[in-house]
């Protein structure tokens, strides 16, 4: 992004005052750059831009086949930016206040059954260091409901196995304690037999899950192996690390866990984010009734 004083100050505001993660800030900045490019092409300033200009900008995004979900995210970022400009005294009125986000249908995340998860784990060759590590990774993703970035950043200093918890650094650098199952602890300990014998690169000594090169394992590598194992298990769903997080939450809810507890375990700031799993639960319930109720038998 080219140097622009209000934009640069806004970026610092997101980092220092709102405490957002670098990935979230990068997403905000990328969306804001689209608006800056639009304004520069029309010789508009932040003090001179009006609602009609913003509506033209959104119409342009629509013409470029930008998906409704991406447009909604862009609108959210624009509103946040102009709200900041009002707070900072750059403008007196917020031109984005009346912007309406496109309606987005509820997209339920992909969830695996317990049997499918077991099939994926059964496809891993645990006679190798790589397989033992990958088994521990998938078991930890599912048992703790972690984001892939939380897993790749997991450190030995975050493991409290005697107490049955791990410490997780989530979005916005917020820490939370998450219970870890005895099964996951066992699988991590199995992997540590190999990990303790590995030559690790400087700076990665405290990282739990490392690559064959001795540095922290990357998110892309985790994606790759999960898709490989899902294919080997004959699972045709769109699989990635996040599927185990979705499955973790859904299976807990199906078995009666309190949604507030699930919110805490997932590190969701808002309960509305967690509530999508209640929709999954209802969808599961409806499918069960359709399949098994005698009135639905042909």
SS3 159: strand
Alpha helical stretches, state H, the chain: 5-16, 22-41, 51-63, 68-87, 114-122, 129-144, 148-152, 182-195, 219-232, 241-254, 259-266, 271-274, 276-292
Q: What is the DSSP letter of 269?
A: S
Give the chain's radius of gyration (CA, Å): 23
Shortest CA distance to 13 belongs to which of 77, 65, 88?
88
Distance CA 80, CA 102 (A): 17
DSSP string, 45-63: -TTT--HHHHHHHHHHHHH
CB within 8 A of 213, min separation 6: which ones?
A: 201
What is the pairing mode between strands 159-160 and 165-169? Answer: antiparallel
Q: How far apart (Å, rounded) are the C-alpha atoms in residues 275 and 259? A: 8
Tokens representing 39? 């304004």
The SS3 call for residue 97 is: coil
d(CA 255, CA 271): 19
Cβ-contact 15, 23 below 8 angstroms: no
What amino acid positions are annotated as catalytic residues?
Answer: 147, 171, 242, 245, 268, 277
């Amino acid at each position: 992004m080219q140097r622009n004083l209000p934009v640069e100050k806004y970026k610092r505001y997101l980092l220092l005052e709102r405490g957002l993660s670098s990935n979230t800030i990068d997403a905000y900045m990328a969306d804001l750059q689209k608006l800056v490019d639009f304004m520069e092409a029309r010789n508009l300033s932040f003090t001179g831009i009006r609602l009609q200009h913003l509506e033209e900008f959104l119409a342009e995004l629509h013409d470029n086949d930008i998906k409704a979900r991406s447009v909604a995210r862009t609108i959210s970022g624009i509103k946040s930016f102009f709200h900041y400009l009002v707070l900072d005294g750059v403008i007196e009125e917020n031109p984005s206040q009346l912007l309406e986000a496109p309606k987005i249908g509820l997209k339920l995340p992909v969830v695996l059954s317990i049997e499918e998860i077991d099939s994926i784990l059964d496809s891993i060759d645990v006679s190798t260091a790589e397989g033992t590590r990958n088994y521990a990774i998938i078991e930890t993703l599912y048992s703790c409901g972690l984001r892939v970035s939380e897993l790749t950043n997991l450190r030995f200093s975050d493991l409290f196995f005697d107490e049955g918890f791990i410490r997780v650094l989530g979005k916005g650098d917020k820490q939370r304690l998450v219970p870890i199952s005895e099964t996951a602890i066992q699988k991590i300990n199995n992997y540590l037999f190999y990990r303790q014998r590995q030559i690790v690169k400087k700076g990665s000594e405290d990282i739990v899950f490392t690559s064959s090169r001795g540095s922290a394992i990357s998110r892309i590598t985790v994606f790759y192996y999960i898709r490989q194992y899902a294919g080997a298990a004959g699972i045709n769903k769109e699989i990635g690390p996040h599927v185990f997080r979705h499955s973790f939450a859904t299976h807990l809810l199906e078995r009666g866990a309190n949604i507030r507890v699930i919110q805490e375990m997932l590190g969701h700031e808002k309960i509305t984010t967690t509530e999508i799993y209640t929709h999954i639960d209802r969808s599961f319930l409806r499918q069960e009734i359709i399949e098994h109720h005698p009135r639905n038998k042909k």
